[in-house]
Each structure stands twice: as structure tokens, then as C-alpha cells.
Amino acid sequence: MSLKRRPPANNVRRVHTHGKGFWGTMVNQVSETIQIESGLEKNGALSLIRNRAVRRIISQPIRIPYVDENGKPHTYTPDFMVIFWDGHVEIHEFSAEFRRIRPDIRRREAAARVYCETQGWVYVVHTERNMPGPTEQVNIRDLSQYRPSAYFDERIANCIRTHLADGTRISLIELADQVSQRLGVSVPLVNNTVFHMLWSEQLCTDLSNLLIFLQGTPNPRALIWMESR
């Protein structure tokens, strides 16, 4: 996906591609454009957008100064600023583990930690070692397709909530069949609402188990429940 010459609002730079790997854009919690430079960043951004504790994420948010081993000045732009509903702020970087042994990467990470401390922020580095497992990442990517509110039906959602109010854990397929019969609506419409509610964490499931097969068929072993409050 190409970008215009200027970066999106609140971004200090445009991302670029070297012709390999993923890059592009998506929208955050408040419909602002955020930029992505890798598959790791995309998975991380989706997890942050899905996190109900996070109010808003901003990509390419700031330039942090640092110097190299020869004293030459440089600037480093981290991947995301993460603003939480409780007011605290974190700066998140997504990086391949092998890159972190490089002296320049270690130098800029050290500078970022110091800078964030002066601002009262927290600096967080994610690598493939501390990211969700592959199946969970696939599930989050699949659920992100159901993020738009067009997939949500309040009448179906209320029926699902009533059905699960007593703490019941039920297979995704069985839940969709029962709600479909009770309301006289199609199973695909029920699935749309279930997947939207799973994306927005209104419903719970074990994301370490695949939810949707390649053909778009729900996994009959996937269980759905509501978090007790």
C-alpha cells in the first residue's frame, strides 16, 4: 500500500519498504491512520488495538536522539506510542531478536529507556520470543476482519449474553446453532456477531486453539464463554 509524500497525522516519518516483507497501514481505535513496517508490527498493533485497556496507539510517534560510538548524532523513531485509559503511556518497539545484539540497536534502546524515564513513560521491546504464539496471532488476525460494527447485531448479542450468563462454556458451532434457532436468523449472521464480540473481548475463548479453518468454517472444538464479573 503506497502512502502520500507526507506522513499521516501525528506520525513524524513515513514508513518505507525495501521490497520484501509486509508494510502498509491500518486504523487505530479512533480511526486514525497508523503505519506498519513488518508482519511482527502488524500482529503487535492488532493486539494493542484489541486491548480494552488501551485508549489509542500512534505509529512513528517521536524522534529520540542518541549518539553512535564515534559521538555522531542520530535519531531513532520507535514503532508505537501506546496511551492507556488510565493515563499512563508506553513506547513500544517490535524487533527481531537477532537484531538486538547489534551495538547500534542496543545504543538506541538504551537512549529510548532514558528518554522515556524523563517523560514518565515505559519503554517496551517486543520480539518473536515474547509475542503471542503463532496460532494466537492467526486468530487475532482472523478476528480483526470482524472489527467493524457492521458485523455486530445487538439482538443477537443480547441472546448470546443471556445464553452464557450462567457461566456456560459451549462450542462455537453449538452456540451459533442454538441462537440461530431461537431468533430465526442465519448461522452466518450469528457467527459474525460472535466473532465481533470475541475481537472486542466481550466474549472469551482459548486463542491457543484455532478458531476458524482455512475454508472459513468455525472449529467445532473452539469453546466460547463470558468472563465472570
- State the cell numbers at 94: 517490535
pLDDT in tens, 34-82: 999 988 999 999 999 999 999 999 999 999 999 988 889 999 999 999 9
Residue 211: partners with Cβ closer than 8 Å, 6 or more residues away = 139, 142, 143, 172, 195, 198, 205, 218, 219, 222
pLDDT in tens, 121-138: 999 999 988 898 999 999
Q: Are residues 38 and 121 in the same domain?
A: yes
* The last residue of a domain, from among 69, 97, 126: 126
* Structural Rg of the chain based on CA atoms: 21
Q: Are residues 49 and 119 in the same domain?
A: yes
- State the cell numbers at 3: 502512502
Domain that holds residue 51: 24-126
Three-state SS for 75? strand
CB count in 10 Å sphere of residue 90: 17
Q: Identify the CATH number of the domain in which residue 95 sits.
A: 3.40.1350.10
Q: Count of domains in the chain?
A: 2
* The last residue of a domain, from among 126, 148, 168: 126
